[in-house]
Amino acid sequence: MKSTDKKQEVEKMEKPQENGGVHVEGHIKIFDPESKEVFIDKRNAIHYENMSEALATMLANKSTGFVHEMHFGNGGTSVDPTGVVTYLPANSTGASADLYNQTYYKVVDDNSSLNLDPTRNKITPTHTPGLVYTDIVVSCLLDYGEPSGQQAFDNTTNFDDDFVFDELGLKSWNGTAGTGKLLTHVVFHPVQKSLNRLIQIDYTVRIQTLTSLGTV
């Protein structure tokens, strides 16, 4: 017979990875696609409450919550008589958060019938196999003739003009154009949109899962 003091085998159980997280970050680049002049190149704020709701709604296949529009405004800064620019903080809390003063928006969802130019205003997801993040690149082009009512040349001294933009945000679709929730917001140095130039915005949102992939 085998010895009674035989060692017992202890089975080590691997627990499933239950503790993880999602990190979302954004970056915008505003430039003239013809001259290649870059006006703005910076990170932006994420509205985490609205973003979490949007992600959950999309995963639940509820046909709302996805990015639908890019919104433009002119209320993010103030310029004193000496030219000193004061920047307001990005709006990233409160379910009803919005731009400080929205003056224009454009549909960027290339699957939407409301998008009149889906080849130049579109959303492209990009992922590299093996990595734990995926980028969503939102491209928006303001053509020469838009918005309607803009100045002829980019030499205004009126920083309160409707189309001297100093804030941008992405908004979700909730069933009616222009009324979705604010998902991201960024405030930047004023940039004038005028008839004599194109302006393109490449807005990148990176969604990354956070996990140690270890055992406990």
pLDDT in tens, 132-155: 999 999 999 999 999 999 999 999
Q: Is residue 4 part of a domain?
A: no
Q: Is residue 8 part of a domain?
A: no
- The first and second tokens of residue 195, run together, are 């008839």
Q: Taking 90 as the threshold, does the pLDDT of residue 33 lie above it?
A: yes
Residue whose C-alpha is closest to residue 201's, from 158, 137, 133: 137
Q: Is residue 7 part of a domain?
A: no
Q: Is residue 120 part of a domain?
A: yes
Across the range 29-33, mean pLDDT stands at 98
Average pLDDT, the chain: 91
Across the range 23-51, mean pLDDT stands at 97
Percent of the chain with pLDDT over 90: 82
Q: Is residue 1 part of a domain?
A: no
Specify the DSSP element, H or E, that contains 135: strand 133-142
5: confidence class by pLDDT, cuts 50, 70, 90: low
pTM: 0.88
Q: Is residue 158 part of a domain?
A: yes
As a whole number of Å, the CA-based R_g of the chain is: 23
Range of the domain at 142: 21-210
CA separation for the pair 138, 70 (Å, rounded): 9
Q: Which residues face 72 on adjacent strands?
A: 104, 168
State how many domains the chain has.
1
47: confidence class by pLDDT, cuts 50, 70, 90: very high
Q: Is residue 168 part of a domain?
A: yes
State the virtual CA torsion across 50, 89, 70, 121 in degrees, nearest 10.
-120
Q: Is residue 216 part of a domain?
A: no
Looking at per-residue confidence, does 51 or 5 come out higher?
A: 51
Q: What is residue 159's predicted lDDT score, i.e. its pLDDT?
A: 87
